[in-house]
Structure 1
């Protein structure tokens, strides 16, 4: 899968990034990924039982990335070392991920408590402290049934955790593209060391000159 453009000047080489999408069962991890990659939303819930990898190409700030999105089944804990990575989560590649997307259901306080614990385990287990972590509150279409106040969560995630935060609706494809744009801007900033701007890419997208698959 690739991204193509005839009007943007791109780097001659692309970089590969690995995004691990994690969360409790039923929060919509797979639906978010499928909306971004294929613009599809499955009406019937099917639990993710094994790792799935999607490989779109993404252009951000005129840099081309091959993105390997790892859609993970529910994991009871984050592997604390390479031994546990191999024996309990064979082939997941969790410890080598470039960034993490932690998804919770805004109607379920338990699903937020799960990613809160998972984030601490990631920080304790990874030597790199600058690894991007994005917290995603899915099912915004059910906002009237919200379990944890948005302001409370947003303040905690942004100010205390220093993580990105966004709410979305996989069902209605709301803020899905924005989520991955913001995440890739963070990765691009780490890679290239400049303040990321996406205006040229956004303009190209509006004119259908750049295709993200």
Structure 2
């Protein structure tokens, strides 16, 4: 997994994912938005992280969907990660509503095989900056689709991320699920430095 200009990615794969809440534990909440245009793999990204599965058929999201997963970081610390998936269809992209929910970080996805989704990244970053009340970490995630013609090279995406002053990673959601976990680990390291990982 490569990034443009920061090496703060943590691997949360080894953290034990649990359901529910154990009394006596320090519990942290992490709210992340996953945005991007259709066909970028947002739903697959979330499914891989929360359910460890890759969907076999594509069903477009038509609204904002919220999914959560609880991670046991240590014997006394757990983090509940909420992922807010914003529908990719243009008519449903309404980030204004989303950002009243206390979002702490944003994953901006594009498909390396789909130039239109890459070209829209500056617009999404600008829109996010406009409507968020506070500055939050943003991570540009390029989803590499094996078997497709991946038109956007890594360096081009890394250069764009540098211009936008955000970090960048290239992942393959289907074949390398550990990289999905590392994206979540990135936000834990940025937003929860007090959590001893």
Partner of 1:154: 158
Partner of 2:85: 71
Uncovered stretches (5+) of structure 1, i.e. residues with no partner: 5-10, 80-84, 86-91, 199-213
Q: TM-score, normalised by structure 1?
A: 0.70
More helix, by proportion: 1
Over 3 Å counting, the alpha-carbon distance change for 1:51 and 1:77 in structure 2 is: closer
Uncovered stretches (5+) of structure 2, i.e. residues with no partner: 1-15, 19-23
Q: Aligned partners of 1:30 and 1:76: how far apart in 2?
A: 15
Q: Aligned partners of 1:136 and 1:110: how far apart in 2?
A: 15
Deviation at 1:127, TM superposition (A): 2.9
DSSP-derived class of the 1:40 partner: coil
Determine which structure has greater relative contact order: mean sequence separation of CA pairs < 8 Å that are 6+ residues apart, divided by chain length: 2
Instruction: Say whether 1:31 aligns with 2:53.
Output: no
The equivalent position to 1:54 in structure 2, one of 58, 64, 67, is 67
Deviations 1:126-159 (A, max 9, x none): 2312x010110013424x72222211211331x3
Deviations 1:18-65 (A, max 9, x none): 111111011110001101111111121111122222111134587432
Structure whose alpha-carbon radius of gyration is higher: 1
More strand, by proportion: 2
Q: Which moved more, 1:148-157 or 1:92-101?
A: 92-101
In the TM superposition, what are the counterparts of 1:1-213 in structure 2 within 5 Å? 3=17, 12-60=25-73, 63-74=77-88, 75-76=92-93, 78-79=95-96, 85=97, 92-93=98-99, 96-129=102-135, 131-142=136-147, 145-157=149-161, 159-174=162-177, 175-189=179-193, 192=194, 198=197
* Aligned pairs, number: 172
DSSP-derived class of the 2:123 partner: helix
Deviations 1:81-136 (A, max 9, x none): xxxx2xxxxxx45662111111100111110122221111111222312x010110
Over 3 Å counting, the alpha-carbon distance change for 1:49 and 1:96 in structure 2 is: same
Q: TM-score, normalised by structure 2?
A: 0.76
